[in-house]
């Protein structure tokens, strides 16, 4: 029996109850689930594809894989993504959780990931029977031997929960190191479109973001060997309920993963594939969603700081990563007494134990209520 951590969100029940007892009700800024409507262009594409009596393709339709390739060039500055190296996934969480298993990792293999990180990287290693290893930097791995070299290294940029963005030089050093040591690098880039750096609220339009991808030619010299990128449309397109995501990169690795997924029946429903094609081809709805979140962020951040929390990193993504230099559970309790539920930094590793994460994914009315309570 594999040892898995307790499901973290269950531990928030008493804080949720405390926040719910405040007059006016709870403002839930914990999980980060989208609350705004799914864009009409995507809903229309789903409805048009509702007649789907046959089994969908595990690999996805050629049209979907080509759409991902075109999107990478248009939105991420990455040319030459081979459609054969693209694979739709049923949301990104299942891919993160099962990637070590799909890569045939197991006992004796190391899966490394950031010390402050989405907990499913750790869970995925455990599901495979591999050893999870949280690291600050490559240098913290120490002298490498066959037994101590990770088989898989996760990157997350923009990061969840921190919102930190890794630059081209940083990513390039990681790729160079990984290729020297035969390590597969997987980058979770799900928040790439939500970049808040050096812009004011009114400046988010349909221009591509500046967050670099692991597959950027400046990072990998145009070769995707040993590299995989995980991406989701949940946040940038309000599609969390559709479970629309994809994997892209090394064709050989993607084909290996595909073979296992075909046997296991991991198939994205055909109507969702059609909706995903429509979403990838329409940057305008992404720009509108960014403007909405930018406005909420501009109102919430000063209020969080007025409450005595210092916002750190938070350069991109849908969260404010904040600290009052106290145990995260103390901060969580203080917020709950104001009717606001946040996520404790301890969920994301011991290095986050003095931080809380506050999501921007609440309605305008709830954000304004939070602002009033905090100030």
pLDDT of 187 > 60? The answer is: yes
Going from the C-alpha of 373 to that of each of 42, 136, 342, the distances in angstroms are 36, 36, 14
Of the chain, the percentage scoring pLDDT greater than 90 comes to 89
User: What's the mean pLDDT when you consider all of the chain?
Assistant: 93
pLDDT digits (tens, 9 = 90+) for 282-314: 999 999 999 999 999 999 999 999 999 999 999
Residue 148 binned pLDDT confidence (cut-offs 50, 70, 90): confident
pLDDT at 200 over 50: no
4-9-13-17 Cα dihedral, nearest 10 degrees: 180
Residue 205, pLDDT score = 54
Residue 138 binned pLDDT confidence (cut-offs 50, 70, 90): confident
Three-state SS for 110? strand
pLDDT 10s digits, 236-275: 999 999 999 999 999 999 999 999 999 999 999 999 999 9
338 token code pair: 């104001």
Q: Which pLDDT score, from 0 to 100, does residue 199 have?
A: 60
Q: Structural domains in the chain?
A: 8-37+285-374 (3.90.1150.10), 52-281 (3.40.640.10)
User: How far, in Å, CA of 209 to CA of 192, rounded?
Assistant: 7
Phi first, then psi, for residue 305 (nearest 5°) are -70, -35
Q: Which DSSP string do the residues of 238-273 spell out, in sequence order? A: T-GGGTEEEEEE-HHHHHHHHHHHHHHT----HHHH
Q: Is the pLDDT of residue 201 over 50?
A: no
- Region label for 347, one of left (φ > 0), alpha (ψ between -120 and 50) or beta (otherwise): alpha
For residue 143, name the pLDDT band (cuts at 50, 70, 90). confident
Task: Look at residue 82 in the predicted model and tell me its pLDDT.
Answer: 97
- Model pLDDT for residues 342-367, shown as the tens digit of each residue: 999 999 999 999 999 999 999 999 99
Q: Is pLDDT of 153 > 50?
A: yes
The tens digit of pLDDT for each residue in 47-57 reads 999 999 999 99
pLDDT at residue 66 above 80?
yes
Q: Specify the pTM.
A: 0.92
Tell whether the model's pLDDT for residue 207 goes beyond 70: no
Alpha-carbon span 214 to 227, nearest angstrom = 7
71-110 per-residue burial string, b: 16 or more CB within 10 A, e: under 16: bbeebbbbeebebebbbbbbbbbebbbbbbbbbebeeebb
């Amino acid at each position: 029996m594999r040892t898995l951590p307790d499901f973290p969100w269950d531990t928030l029940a008493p804080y949720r109850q405390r926040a719910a007892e405040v007059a006016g009700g709870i403002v839930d800024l914990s999980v980060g689930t989208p609350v705004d409507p799914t864009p009409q262009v995507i809903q229309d594409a789903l409805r048009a594809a509702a007649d789907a009596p046959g089994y969908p393709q595990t690999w996805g339709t050629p049209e979907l894989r080509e759409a991902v390739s075109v999107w990478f060039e248009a939105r991420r500055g990455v040319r030459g993504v081979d459609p054969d190296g693209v694979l739709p996934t049923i949301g990104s969480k299942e891919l993160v959780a099962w990637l070590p298993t799909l890569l045939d990792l197991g006992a004796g293999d190391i899966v490394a990931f950031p010390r402050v990180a989405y907990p499913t990287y750790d869970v995925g290693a455990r599901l495979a029977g591999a050893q999870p290893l949280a690291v600050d930097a490559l240098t913290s791995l120490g002298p490498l031997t066959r037994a101590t070299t990770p088989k898989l290294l996760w990157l997350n940029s923009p990061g969840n929960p921190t919102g930190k963005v890794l630059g081209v030089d940083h990513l390039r050093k990681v790729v160079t190191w990984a290729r020297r040591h035969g390590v597969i690098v997987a980058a979770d880039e799900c928040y790439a479109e939500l970049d808040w750096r050096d812009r004011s609220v009114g400046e988010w339009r349909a221009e591509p973001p500046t967050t670099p991808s692991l597959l950027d030619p400046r990072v990998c010299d145009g070769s995707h060997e040993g590299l995989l990128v995980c991406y989701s449309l949940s946040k940038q397109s309000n599609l969390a309920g559709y479970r629309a995501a994809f994997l892209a990169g090394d064709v050989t690795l993607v084909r290996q993963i595909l073979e296992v997924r075909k046997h296991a029946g991991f198939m994205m429903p055909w109507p969702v594939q059609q909706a995903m094609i429509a979403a990838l081809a329409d940057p305008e709805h992404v720009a509108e969603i960014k403007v909405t979140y930018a406005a909420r962020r501009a109102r919430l951040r000063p209020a969080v700081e007025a409450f005595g929390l210092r916002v750190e990193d938070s350069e991109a993504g849908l969260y404010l990563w904040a600290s009052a230099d106290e145990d995260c559970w103390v901060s969580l309790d203080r917020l709950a007494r104001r009717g606001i539920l946040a996520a404790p930094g301890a969920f994301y590793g011991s290095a986050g134990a003095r931080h809380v994460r506050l999501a921007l994914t609440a309605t305008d009315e709830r954000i304004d209520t939070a602002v009033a309570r905090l100030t």
